[in-house]
Amino acid sequence: MSEYSAPIRDMQFVLKELAGLADIGQLPGCEEASEDLVDAVLEEAGKFATGVLSPLNRIGDQQGARWNDGEVTTAEGWKAAYTQFSESGWTSLAGDPEYGGQGLPKIVNVAVMEMWKSANMAFSLCPMLTTGAIEALVLRGTDAQKATYLPRMISGEWTGTMNLTEPQAGSDLAAVRTKAEPQADGSYRIFGQKIFITYGEHDMTDNIVHLVLARLPDAPEGVKGISLFVVPKFMVNDDGSLGERNDVHCVSIEHKLGIHASPTCVLAFGDKGGAVGYLVGEANRGLEYMFIMMNEARFAVGMEGVALSERAYQQAVGYARDRVQGTEAGVRGGPKVPIIRHADVRRLLMSMRSQTEAMRAVAYVVAAATDVAHNHADEGERARAQAFVDLMIPIVKGWSTENSVDIASMGVQVHGGMGFIEETGAAQHLRDARITTIYEGTTAIQANDFIGRKIAREKGMTIKAVVEQMRAVEVELAQHENEEFRAIRAALAAGIVAVEEAVAYILETYGQDIKAASVGSVPMLKLFGIVAGGWQMARAALASRRQIEAGSTDAFYRNKIHTARFYADHVLSQAPGLAYAVIHGASGAWALEDDAF
Amino acid sequence: MSEYSAPIRDMQFVLKELAGLADIGQLPGCEEASEDLVDAVLEEAGKFATGVLSPLNRIGDQQGARWNDGEVTTAEGWKAAYTQFSESGWTSLAGDPEYGGQGLPKIVNVAVMEMWKSANMAFSLCPMLTTGAIEALVLRGTDAQKATYLPRMISGEWTGTMNLTEPQAGSDLAAVRTKAEPQADGSYRIFGQKIFITYGEHDMTDNIVHLVLARLPDAPEGVKGISLFVVPKFMVNDDGSLGERNDVHCVSIEHKLGIHASPTCVLAFGDKGGAVGYLVGEANRGLEYMFIMMNEARFAVGMEGVALSERAYQQAVGYARDRVQGTEAGVRGGPKVPIIRHADVRRLLMSMRSQTEAMRAVAYVVAAATDVAHNHADEGERARAQAFVDLMIPIVKGWSTENSVDIASMGVQVHGGMGFIEETGAAQHLRDARITTIYEGTTAIQANDFIGRKIAREKGMTIKAVVEQMRAVEVELAQHENEEFRAIRAALAAGIVAVEEAVAYILETYGQDIKAASVGSVPMLKLFGIVAGGWQMARAALASRRQIEAGSTDAFYRNKIHTARFYADHVLSQAPGLAYAVIHGASGAWALEDDAF
């Protein structure tokens, strides 16, 4: 397995020339995000990712997290790496300065997050879940809760978890049954079992802060009867020292296809009299709080799609350069060549590369919009940016992760027989990627959200505005009379028409026949992702063209245009077929009786 | 993990109503293949697959094959199952009656083969490789070699292997370096190391017969200097008893992503003075013999694509029926429903089902053509059938296996979080499927063969004849004025045009710019696979319609039409996008310098 090397040049390009880093740096509260600072942060994070996290990726996969009598031991070297990670300040990068965080905007944090996830996805899940727990406390914690937990979670001294689902619930959190019994002192006793708890138990820190969904005794049925509690692994004394062990225990960890190093825990609350918990925010509003945080978590998983695609691409390029096999097509008796000279290897690599760059561009543009939505002085600008973010979150999550499974699989294919051998490392990326379309809401859940809340509910207002922006880019492409720009324009134009037709179908159908519309939800999500990627790649080509016309001889810009053209011909070109499936595909899907399967 | 249940009804339908079983039964040498016999064979094979092989699939994955000091132990229960398998006559089903085989035609054997591969792919590889070795000996063995090895290989008493590649060679067999030194007694001593040898060592039989590619001392360089040798694990005495251990040893087995139970061996020949081998056929023609057998082997791996798709589908349907979660779309406050009622689960299941049925239909039709090519009394008929088989082999291999990776991945997705947990069993199908696009020639190698030897070399003659047959089906569809047939026809018509345009591009480009044509090779293979599948599904819909019009009330026929319609809307509809990539995609793929990746 080759070590990861952060694609800093492409990250800088996307941040500065597509996502508007300079504009973000003008927003109130984002002034620190100067180009110089960003360059320095990327440089340092890249070194940490390559030097510390990447080398632990394979050993984490091989050894996995190990459970023994309630204790979970992480793989060799992981605890030390975590300590170094938090002591270097990486856990606090985006944290609230009031509690010791560095408060950098999302547009900076996104690139750093991508690096952790590329270098070592299983590792990155620990700080990712901690961020979720931090946000819950920032959002609705009492001052005392904030003072007790936030500084040590932001510093990385303690980690956090999110305890949502249970065996009978799955994605359907209305079915949560864990109970919270009020105590005389204002605390609660928690009883129940939670599953799929990422880093629910581990040996990397002294304490773990669990955020737990549970029902009060008098709670209404369903989604409006669920409250949120904070439940520390060790009680925290008034002086901040650790007290007694709380009654929450890891009864087992899962044996999974991938992310072996990340312990996926079954946690038992209250087997020995009740786990002590404290209500966060108001009673019965727990699920609502989860929904507020959901954008953040889904975006982060979308970044896993980008990150694993980048890692799989790097691994495949390395192999394709080194592996000498066969002669070049059309050259009889010629010398043996590295397989990067073979047409289909080239096609696979370009497919991996172009889609990864497209996904990165879309994700960073959405990250920038998040900063605008949070920080812009103008309320209208904030609202417009938020609507764009809300529209795009299911795309960043669903489209990037679905792609990452295919891209990691392409990476295996580039390796031929060696790709199937675990020592090579390519297979791990596929195994790791496979969870990303499932957790934090499956692709179907993202797609339902996309066509329902994000398109139908507002009668397509935001998506139509985005299509207008795409049209403007198409017009701009038309000003360049060369073959590459013509090719990019042709495919983008067809993609835009495909989106328009599919959106019209969804708007027409959703209210009348939601089951028919829903058959098209995932194809619609993929369609819009592909076209949004084409839109950003077209913007990238235009930006590159401007640099070349301004005299730049940096090969980066030439290659970006080539890559955008490949994306147009091979990826964007699939858009009309997806629109066809959206528009025509419902009745075949529902025609069989359930028992005919 | 649910047990496999053979889809006998669909197999019978395809055999009888699409592949022309009755016609095959009229061919000289195929008279035994009556409908009654075929029904009985499918019934018995189905029982064996469900009762014996399927229950060992998971344990094989968990325990894997284990290496210890040159010995390989298969998983618990595997040796007994293999004995039962061979004693029940399954190894001899398609074998030459002269050596104890039952001589059933390919059209029967293909359905049985599908069952073994669905039930337990890792197990099925042992008889599959043995069949390859048997064919080599039937094809070019001396009478003495045939008498020594064939009866006991056909009976299953001994197994066989194919020793082709070496570390430096990969797919490029011209690079083979294993040496064969002639001895005074007419035998040879073999020296070298072979990798990726499936069942190269195991404990299920007393002897293993290795077929080995090696170079004679005076052999010319490259592909025309490779000879084929038979090298038994234990020498065979004149009376047929086993003699001394030969100098071929398993030095290690690979740690793989999937098919854990199938030992993938590194074999060392000649570490202790030379492995005794015997020349098969003429010197320096070994690779040519391999090519003759290649159709058979590639077809068999294509069947793995069909078989794993079927298994993944069954597993997903079982889960989708049992798993109750959420309420039906549009029904607020309604009861919880099994997830098979959710639109995207339905779409996934129909996608898995329709593609599996399409692949099965294509494969069985090709199997029937193989019987015609081998057995028809008329030379012209034989030649036409062989040309069709040659055209379709890379499609059966490449398209079915590429699909199987996607379909197994869809199966994981249907399971949600449980799909990522190994105990569920869905992930194993994905891991097992991942090898099928690689071994016996990667998809790129199939696609090169397809556009080069199968299309360009004969100026598209055979593929154009097949397109004519597709057009005839399209005309027939037009005679049915109902919505489903209109939908099927529309998508098939667009698919045919896409194939025609892409074929025209390949014919025009291949001779002038093979590197450009080759970028389109895999998209071309997928395009033709999709349209060929649509062609067969359209034939299936027409055959079903005829049955319904003749008064059948069997729901099977109604469901087949529904499934064909789904395939048209969701799968066939992707054909034009692939043709676009074939026709426009070359220059973007070659634009970057090698070092720009």
- Which run of H or of E encompasses B269? strand B264-269
CB contact under 8 A, B325 and A514: no
Chain centroid to Cα B143, Å, comes to: 30
Confidence of residue A173 (pLDDT cuts 50, 70, 90): confident
Report how far residue B75's alpha carbon sits from residue B260's, in angstroms, rounded to the nearest whole number.
10
What value does the mean pLDDT take over residues A276-283? 98
Report how far residue B300's alpha carbon sits from residue B397's, in angstroms, rounded to the nearest whole number.
8
Residue from A440, A474, A484, A500 carrying the catalytic annotation: A440
Give the tokens for residue A459. 């009668």
| DSSP symbol at A16 | I
Contacts of A163 (CB under 8 A, 6+ apart): A178, A194, A197, A200, A210, A211, A212, A213, A231, A267
Q: Which of A126, A197, A121 is nearest to A157 (CA)?
A: A126
Residue A573 · residue B581 · CB < 8 Å: yes
Q: Report the pLDDT value the prediction gives residue A332, as an integer from 0 to 100.
A: 80
Residue A387 · residue A344 · CB < 8 Å: no
- Give the residue on A whose Cα is nearest the Cα of B597: A317
Tens digit of each residue's pLDDT (9 = 90 or more) over A176-208? 999 999 999 999 999 999 999 999 999 999 999
Amino acid identity, residue B351? S
Report how far residue A53's alpha carbon sits from residue A119's, in angstroms, rounded to the nearest whole number.
6
Classified as helix, coil or strand, B326 is strand
Q: Report the pLDDT value the prediction gives residue B333, as an integer from 0 to 100.
A: 81
Which residues does chain A have within 8 Å of residue B587's beta carbon, measured at their own beta carbons? 483, 565
CB contact under 8 A, A434 and B438: no
Q: Report the pLDDT value the prediction gives residue B388, as an integer from 0 to 100.
A: 98
Q: Are strands B242-245 and B234-236 parallel, antiparallel or unpaired?
A: antiparallel
Q: Among A53-67, B259-273, B325-339, B491-505, which stretch is predicted with the lowest mean pLDDT?
A: B325-339
Report how far residue B211's alpha carbon sits from residue A330's, in angstroms, rounded to the nearest whole number.
32
Q: Which of A107, A110, A214, A99 is nearest to A158 (CA)?
A: A99
Confidence of residue A502 (pLDDT cuts 50, 70, 90): very high
Q: Report the pLDDT value the prediction gives residue A191, as an integer from 0 to 100.
A: 98
B72 to chain A, any CB pair closer than 8 A? The answer is no
Question: Cα-flanking dihedrals φ and ψ of residue A157, to 5°?
Answer: -65, -40
Identify the sign of the CA torsion B248, B251, B255, B261: positive
Residue B174 has pLDDT above 90, yes or no: no
Contacts of A472 (CB under 8 A, 6+ apart): none
Is the model more confident about A348 or about A331?
A348
Which residues does chain A have within 8 Å of residue B483's beta carbon, measured at their own beta carbons? 587
Rg (CA), chain A: 24
Contacts of B525 (CB under 8 A, 6+ apart): B394, B395, B398, B399, B443, B446, B447, B450, B451
Residue with tokens 């289909």: A344
In the beta sheet, which residues pair with residue B190? B180, B275
ipTM: 0.97
Residue A78 has pLDDT above 80, yes or no: yes
Write the DSSP string, A53-116: IGGGHHHHHHH--EEETTEEEPPTTHHHHHHHHHHTT-TTTTS-GGGT-----HHHHHHHHHHH
Residue A193 · residue A178 · CB < 8 Å: yes
- Give the residue on B whose Cα is nearest the Cα of A324: B168
CA B343 to each of CA A521, A552, B523: distance values in angstroms, whole numbers, following the listed order: 9, 51, 29
Whats the size of chain B, residue-wise?
A: 597
Whats the size of chain A, residue-wise?
A: 597
CB contact under 8 A, A256 and B421: yes
A422 to chain B, any CB pair closer than 8 A? The answer is yes
Tens digit of each residue's pLDDT (9 = 90 or more) over B374-416? 999 999 999 999 999 999 999 999 999 999 999 999 999 999 9
Report how far residue B58's alpha carbon sits from residue B121's, in angstroms, rounded to the nearest whole number.
11
Average pLDDT, chain B: 96
Q: Report the pLDDT value the prediction gives residue A290, as an integer from 0 to 100.
A: 87
Residue from B357, B440, B484, B500 carrying the catalytic annotation: B440
Size of interface A-B (CB pairs under 8 A): 269
What value does the mean pLDDT take over residues A381-408? 98
Q: Which conformational region is residue B512 in: left (phi greater than 0), alpha (psi within -120 to 50 degrees), or beta? A: alpha
Report how far residue B427's alpha carbon sits from residue B257's, in angstroms, rounded to the nearest whole number.
11
Which residues does chain A have within 8 Å of residue B448's beta carbon, measured at their own beta carbons? 344
Tens digit of each residue's pLDDT (9 = 90 or more) over A5-24? 999 999 999 999 999 999 99
Is the model more confident about B530 or about A329?
B530
Which residues does chain B have within 8 Å of residue A442's beta carbon, measured at their own beta carbons? 413, 416
Classified as helix, coil or strand, A29 is coil
Residue B137 · residue B99 · CB < 8 Å: no
In the beta sheet, which residues pair with residue A189? A181, A276
- Which run of H or of E encompasses B257? none
Which residues does chain B have within 8 Å of residue A421's beta carbon, measured at their own beta carbons? 254-257
| DSSP symbol at B453 | I
Report how far residue A75's alpha carbon sits from residue A222's, in angstroms, rounded to the nearest whole number.
40
In the beta sheet, which residues pair with residue B279? B229
Helix locations, B141-208, DSSP H = 143-154
End-to-end CA distance of chain A: 42
Other Cβ atoms less than 10 A from the Cβ of A268: the count is 19
Q: Which of A84, A118, A115 is nearest to A1 (CA)?
A: A118
Question: Cα-flanking dihedrals φ and ψ of residue A230, to 5°?
Answer: -105, 130
Residue A507 has pLDDT above 80, yes or no: yes
Instruction: Give percent of chain A above pLDDT 90.
Output: 94
Q: Which conformational region is residue A316 in: left (phi greater than 0), alpha (psi within -120 to 50 degrees), or beta? A: alpha
**How would you class A593 by CB atoms within 10 Å of its CB: exposed for 0-12, middle for 13-18, buried for 19 or more?**
exposed
| DSSP symbol at B191 | E
Report how far residue A594's alpha carbon sits from residue B596's, in angstroms, rounded to the nearest whole number.
52
Report how far residue A156's alpha carbon sits from residue A116's, in angstroms, rounded to the nearest whole number.
15
Question: Cα-flanking dihedrals φ and ψ of residue B62, to 5°?
Answer: -70, -50
Q: Report the pLDDT value the prediction gives residue A1, as an integer from 0 to 100.
A: 58
What value does the mean pLDDT take over residues A557-567? 98
Q: Report the pLDDT value the prediction gives residue B1, as an integer from 0 to 100.
A: 59
- Give the residue on A whose Cα is nearest the Cα of B319: A597
Residue A171 has pLDDT above 80, yes or no: no
Give the tokens for residue B503. 């074929």
Closest-CA distance, A327 to chain B, in angstroms, reads 9
Residue of B125, B445, B566 for testing the chain A interface, max A β-carbons within 10 Å: B566
B7 HSE (CA, 13 A, CB side): 26
Closest-CA distance, A154 to chain B, in angstroms, reads 29
Report how far residue B486's alpha carbon sits from residue B468's, in angstroms, rounded to the nearest whole number.
20
Q: Which of A101, A138, A99 is nearest to A280 (CA)?
A: A138
Write the DSSP string, A188-208: EEEEEEEEEEETSS-SSSS-E
Rg (CA), chain B: 24
Cβ within 8 Å of B, A 530-589: 555, 559, 562-563, 565-570, 573-578, 580-581, 584-585, 587-589
Tens digit of each residue's pLDDT (9 = 90 or more) over B76-131? 999 999 999 999 999 999 999 999 999 999 999 999 999 999 999 999 999 999 99
Q: Check if A328 is active-site.
A: no
Write the DSSP string, A494-507: HHHHHHHHHHHHHH
Classified as helix, coil or strand, B173 is helix
Residue B526 has pLDDT above 70, yes or no: yes
Classified as helix, coil or strand, B212 is strand
